[in-house]
A and B are shown apart, each in its own frame.
Chain A
């Protein structure tokens, strides 16, 4: 999911969250956007909506894990640091299948 400004909406994108204005749902979750719907959203004076889109701008799991190693360097010999590093590594592995 990704929150994007109304100006960057393109036809074919899907809403990951409903568009709500004044407590009323105007467009439901999963709605595929068309030019007409985008124009409608722009008229609602809503700044942004949440769309279905891949996580993070293409940063791969491998890059994240390499960065993790660099950030810890020799610090994982300090108490609890190896543990914290392992937990973050497992989290990255789980969330970037």
Chain B
């Protein structure tokens, strides 16, 4: 595996749409999300044309994660209330949930908890686009899904090694791949034409200060990942907590009560959220 070059790995990741295991729906959605000037109406129409997708989106919107007071029963209503970026994030989120869970049981819950934590922390720091940070939280480990799809045997070895040695998968990935799952997720995000900042957050979530356009936001995803792992919600492939980047921690500068209250708020929402199987 050591001879696997970055170029070859990247080509394989970028061709993931050709893998038979990638659902057709995800391909379509990635195209929709990537359209530069897509309107709310177009997105609403795309969702409304698909009954299964409509149900999933409405369920997610009416769940505790969003917490609107009444029931929202129309997609067009939802898109207007939530705005384009939120709906884009949601769309990717619900479309990858089953796929993610199939690749690694517990990864969706880990990702959802990370997304919620990142959004709450972003709101506390008055970051302008908390929903973008939320979407990044949902998708930060998409690179793991790609690696499991393309190199299942190797990834199982990585997970076993991490378990045996009390390390994290990102540490063990070094022995098998030229780049970590964050970078790989970032490649996919670029290939799918996600917004640049979103791609950067996914790409650098283990090395947040490398993010050029969104260091604070990337730091939020990085820190949320660590907090959620510390609390042990979901399963991200290993049982150890990665070390926090001290500069990112200082840049964000949260108080102790910020972090504790965020944990509490996130857990309240997680308790009201359904298992991915029923999403």
Let me know if B191 is at the binding interface, CB within 8 A. Answer: no
Let me know if A10 is at the binding interface, CB within 8 A. Answer: no
* Chain B stretch 239-257: residues in CB contact (< 8 A) with chain A: 239-241, 243-244, 246, 249, 256
Q: Are B230 and A72 in contact (CB under 8 A)?
A: yes
Q: Are B71 and A23 in contact (CB under 8 A)?
A: yes
B156 CB to nearest A CB, Å: 21
**Looking across the interface, which residue of chain A has its beta carbon closest to that of B258?**
A87
Let me know if B259 is at the binding interface, CB within 8 A. Answer: yes
Complex interface: chain A residues within 8 A of B278 (CB): 5, 47-48
Q: Are B243 and A67 in contact (CB under 8 A)?
A: no
Complex interface: chain B residues within 8 A of A92 (CB): 231
**Complex: how many Å from CA A75 to CA B167?**
10
Q: Are B267 and A20 in contact (CB under 8 A)?
A: no
**Looking across the interface, which residue of chain B has its beta carbon closest to that of A91?**
B263
Let me know if A22 is at the binding interface, CB within 8 A. Answer: yes
**Looking across the interface, which residue of chain B has its beta carbon closest to that of A68?**
B230
* Chain B stretch 206-256: residues in CB contact (< 8 A) with chain A: 226-227, 229-232, 239-241, 243-244, 246, 249, 256
Selected interface stretch from B132-140, B195-203, B268-276: B268-276
Complex interface: chain B residues within 8 A of A87 (CB): 256, 259-260, 263
Complex interface: chain A residues within 8 A of B264 (CB): 91, 94-95
Size band of the interface chain B makes with A: 20 to 34
Complex interface: chain B residues within 8 A of A90 (CB): 260
**Complex: how many Å from CA A67 to CA B70?**
39
Complex interface: chain A residues within 8 A of B244 (CB): 78-81, 84
**Complex: how many Å from CA A2 to CA B64?**
11
In addition to A3-B271, A23-B70, 15 A-B residue pairs with Cβ atoms within 8 Å of each other are A3-B63, A3-B272, A3-B273, A21-B71, A64-B232, A70-B166, A71-B232, A71-B241, A72-B230, A78-B244, A80-B246, A83-B256, A84-B226, A88-B231, A90-B260
Question: Which residues of A approach B to under 8 Å, CB–CB?
Answer: 1-3, 5, 20-23, 47-48, 50, 55, 64, 67-68, 70-73, 75, 78-81, 83-85, 87-88, 90-92, 94-95
30 A-B pairs whose Cβ atoms sit less than 8 Å apart in the complex? A3-B271, A3-B272, A5-B278, A20-B71, A21-B71, A22-B71, A47-B278, A48-B278, A64-B232, A68-B231, A70-B166, A71-B241, A73-B166, A75-B241, A78-B243, A78-B244, A80-B246, A80-B249, A81-B243, A83-B256, A84-B230, A84-B241, A84-B259, A88-B227, A88-B230, A88-B263, A91-B263, A94-B260, A94-B264, A95-B267
Question: Which residues of B approach A to under 8 Å, CB–CB?
Answer: 59, 63-64, 70-71, 73, 166, 226-227, 229-232, 239-241, 243-244, 246, 249, 256, 259-260, 263-264, 267, 271-274, 278
